[in-house]
Structures are given as structure tokens and as C-alpha cells.
Amino acid sequence: MYKSTKFIFITGGVLSSLGKGLTAASIGTLMECRGLTVSLLKMDPYINVDPGTMNPFQHGEVFVTDDGAETDLDLGHYERFTHAKLRQSNNFTTGQIYDAVIQKERRGEYLGQTVQVIPHVTDEIKDKIRDLGNGVDVAIVEVGGTVGDIESLPFLEAIRQLRADLGPQNVLYIHLTLLPYMKASGEVKTKPTQHSVKALREVGIQADILICRTEKRISRDVKEKIALFCNVRPEEVIAAEDVECIYELPLKFHEEGLDQKIVELLNIWTRAPILDEWKAFINKVKALDQEITIGIVGKYVDLHESYKSLNEALFAGGVANDTKVNLKFIDSEQIEKQGLEGRFDDVDGILVPGGFGSRGIEGKIVAVRFARENSIPYFGICLGMQIAVVEFARNVCGMAGANSTEFNPDTPYPVIDLMVEQRTIKEKGGTMRLGMYECIITPNSRCSEIYGEPMIRERHRHRYEFNSAYKEELEAKNLKAGGTSPDGKLVELVEYGDHPWFVGCQFHPEFTSRPMEPNPIFAAYLKACLEYSRRKRVQVSEPAMTEGEALYA
Ligand code: GLN
């Protein structure tokens, strides 16, 4: 740990989903813009060892880091808002902590002591937090859950102790709350905030700064009232008004004086933040003058949190093309039940994202076929690539019943299959092909145009692979490998030559996309969608032929 590392702890009160992750990420942005280095950590209060085995309906997206950790989706925000390189150690759960403590106990490392929450569990938490401080100026720690929950108590106790351990000048507590707006009386209410600050005080933590989510602009009076009841100064009450675009948050916080207050309280000497890049980006976002719609065919369509990084990557790819991207989520099971029924009439591109399990698979295959046969730009990510290969094998190469062995172990044409290493694995957690792998791009391919470099590095999270036994047959019909693993054994990208834009990748490019530096494959896909949308409009507006013209046509 740097002698001078400062720690910022972010807790949340009143209710969940207030945007603690975005708040932590935005504070990271502001500290970086002041020339400081940052690292971020999310502590999750559930017992699962990681979110990898949790249903995306409940937990949202699983974000994958370079080193193959399956983490909370807030780490995606952290990486998109800062330059911090995140790893396994940047997210831990209660489950991981207990796992470590119990293993130590079994190894006899506690020398006969009674192992307890305090100090053994809290010490384990504190060690991990201290490690986060290694080599950075500011370590930002987000405490998952809501203050008042039983589950997050050990985390709160650990961060309470750390103020004494590290010195009060090195530790700052920021509490995020909600100011509900009551329509009937036309005012914002401060009582829930007062109560949650009190709940935090009950476990020994006095918040230094309050960030209050609010729909309406709040007056100085409201800030004064909150300050009085919550034991802070009015300038330590920061209003977090709803924003149109999440990337505006650092700028809004800066206007409210948040970063200035943080450096003052932590006694850090820095320059004023340089926010020009962020301002220019937001100005560009607000000036987008074209629109396209992408049809996303998936299973988790009711919970957009399940595709968080994907949504952000599409947004960023759109901005790079001066285009606003609307997302139309289409439930693949509905396609199975009711057919296509004009579902794609208003889309300018079709995308099948990652996914697991056989539910809705046939609907996705129908969607890919529609994209292929109607020259609609198609982008398949992970499962979306596998589905494209299955569709192509069945409908172009005549391999009836072709499938992935994930969905039909007895398929006559297992075009997607488990590799040898995966066949022997019995445990589910953390056993997929995970994390960063190199991919060699096929020269003179569409993928080489997209990437403009001979080798890329992308993150993976899957068990099944393109079965190379079928590579020749598929390539003969023009579905070619656009990139492979360095040893040439694994196909990482496929592209169909007889189509304006039909590409699938086995990796997840959404995890490495950044708002101002979109992953090239997203920028290229959205460019193709924009061109398709223009062609479509030209066709529609072309005047119909008169009878006379038709006669000579
Ligand atoms: N279910 C597929 C596999 O395990 C795809 C996974 C994914 O899309 N991330 O290979």
C-alpha cells in the first residue's frame, strides 16, 4: 500500500438501485481528471463466491475482466469511466471471504482461537481493502447492499475500523441516498435520508459527504436542512439530479463541487480537473442527428441490466458514427410461438448476444436466417456466433439437424461442440473458458478491415466452440474464419462473404469497449447498419413506376 493512499468508501441507503456503481465510477473519473491514479473495488454481500453461477434475471450481467474473473456489472462501469485495470481482486463477495476464513481455519492458521466475525471475518475484509491501495493514489470502495441490511454489517464494521487503522485524514465516507419527490405537496422529502444517515451512525460511521438522488432540482434550503439533521455542512450535500446520459454524471458532480470537497477533506493537493474530453463527448452525444434501431434477439430481454455492457458498447459505437442507437429487445421465445410477424420491419440491424441454455434457441435461428436471407447486417456475439454457424450449416450446407451439443448432444452435425478440456469438468463455477485470449486475424478478410491489425486480444466466457471438423465444409460455402487462436485450432470470428455484413465472434467485445473508444467491431457493425438504413430509405422513397415505364422495364 502507498503510504499516502486515500480511501473513499461509498455506501447506499433508503433503497437499492440508486446508482452507487455509477457514483463510484464517476468519482474515479474526477480523481483521474485531477491527475490522480485510482483503483476501484466492489464488495458484494451475498454468499455466492462469484456472480458467475447466478441467473442474469436476478443479478444482471456478469462482467468479465482480463484475468477471467466473473464479476459484478459495476466493474463494467468502473472500466468504462476510468483507466483502472481491474482484476479478480477488484470484486469480492461475502462467500469468498468466508471461504478464505474457513480454509485458513482448516489449515490451523488461527492457532486454536475461536473464529468469529469480529475480528477474523472483518480482518479478512480489511486485508483485501488494504491491498487495493497498492500503487494508487485513491482507492474507491463500493459497499454493496443497503445500509440497514443484516448482510452488509461485516463490511460496514470493517470500513468503520479502517478509519482508525489508516488515520482519519486518509478515509472518507460517502453515503448515497434518495430524496423522494411528493407530487401532492410538491416538495422533496428529506426524512428517508435522515433515517439512513442515522442507521449508518448506529454502526459507528458518520457520513462525510451525502450524495442525494433527486428528480427535481433542490434548493439551498433543502441542503441546509439535510446538513443540520445529518451532521454535515450544506456544501457536503451533493445533489445528484437525474441525467439523460450516464456519462454526464462526472460533469454534474463537478458542478456540485464534489471532487473539490473530496480532495479538501482528504487533504490531497491536485490540479483542477481537466474535463475537456468528457465535455466534448457529451456535446457530441447531445448533437447526434441520425438514428437507427438494432433488434436484439435474446432471452433476458425484460431486464436490460442483463446486457449492460452490450448496451453501452452499442451506444459508444453509435456515437462514433454520429448516430443515436435505439435498442429493440425481441424475445426469441415469442418468435418461436408467433413467428416473425413484422418484428424486424423497423430494425436496421439484427444482433444475437451471448446466452446459455436451450430456451429460445430456435427463435434465434429463425432471426439469423432472416438477417442472412434479407441482407440485414447481422452481428452474433458468443452464443450469437454459435447460432449463426448452426443456421448456416442447416440452411446453406444442407446439414439437417445441425446444432450445438449444448442444445442437442445427439445432433448428427455437432458444428458447435465442447473441446476436450471442457468434457471432464464437473463443477459449474469458474470453469468456462474465461478471460483474455489472443486472436490472429485472417489477412484480407472483412475482420482485417474491421480491426486493421493482425492480432487482437478479447475476453471470453463460454464452454462451447466452433467445431473445426466442419470448417472446410462451411468455408466452401463462404462462411469463413475471420480470426483464430494463435495455434489456429479455435475459430474466434466468422464472416459470411455473400452478405453486406454478417459477422460472429466467439469472444465478448462489449467488455473492452469504452465510451470514447468503442471496440472496432461495434463501430464497424453500426456503420454497416447506418448504410443499410440509408439504402432502405432510398428504396422506400423511390417513386413507383408508371404503367408505361413498367411496360418497357
Ligand atoms: N452457451 C454458450 C457456451 O457456453 C455461449 C456462452 C455465451 O454466449 N457467453 O459456449
Which residue among 407, 434, 464 has the greatest number of ligand 1 atoms within 8 angstroms of its CB, and so is best to mutate? 464
Given the residues 236, 256, 391, 510, the one annotated as active site: 510
Q: Say whether 109 is catalytic.
A: no
- Indicate if ligand 1 lies below 6 Å from the C-beta of 462: yes
DSSP states of 505-541 as a string?
ESS-GGGG--SSS--HHHHHHHHHHHHHHHHHHHHHH
Rounded-to-integer distance, Cα 147 and Cα 176, Å: 10
Given the residues 382, 439, 447, 529, the one annotated as active site: 382
Residue nearest to atom 1 of ligand 1 (CA): 356
CA atoms 218, 223, 225, 231: torsion sign:
positive
Q: Are strands 502-505 and 349-352 parallel, antiparallel or unpaired?
A: unpaired
Domains of the chain as residue ranges with CATH: 6-281 (3.40.50.300), 288-538 (3.40.50.880)
The predicted model scores a pTM of 0.93
Rounded-to-integer distance, Cα 553 and Cα 551, Å: 6
Which grid coordinates belong to 389? 454457424
Supply the DSSP symbol for 144: -
pLDDT tens for the chain, 553 residues long, are: 446 899 999 999 988 889 999 999 999 999 999 999 999 999 999 998 887 777 767 778 899 999 999 999 999 999 999 999 899 999 999 999 999 999 999 999 998 899 999 999 999 999 999 999 999 999 999 999 999 999 999 999 999 999 999 999 999 999 999 999 999 988 899 999 999 999 999 999 999 999 999 998 999 999 999 999 999 999 999 999 999 999 999 999 999 999 999 999 999 999 999 999 999 999 999 999 999 999 999 986 666 778 899 999 999 999 999 999 999 999 999 999 999 888 999 999 999 999 998 999 999 999 999 999 999 999 999 999 999 999 999 999 999 999 999 999 999 999 999 987 777 776 767 788 999 999 999 999 999 999 999 999 999 999 999 999 999 999 999 999 999 999 999 999 999 999 999 999 999 999 999 999 999 999 999 999 999 999 988 877 665 565 556 555 5
In sequence order, the β-bridge partners of residue 176 are 12, 211
Note if the bond before 119 is cis, omega within 30 degrees.
yes
Rounded-to-integer distance, Cα 317 and Cα 525, Å: 8
CA of 72 to the centre of ligand 1 (A): 18
3-state secondary structure 385-406: HHHHHHHHHHHCCCCCCCEECC
User: Residues with Cβ < 8 Å from 379, sequence gap 6 or more?
Assistant: 349, 350, 351, 352, 501, 503, 504, 521, 525
The number of the ligand 1 atom at minimal distance from the alpha carbon of 508 is 9
Cα 378 vs. chain centroid, distance in angstroms? 22
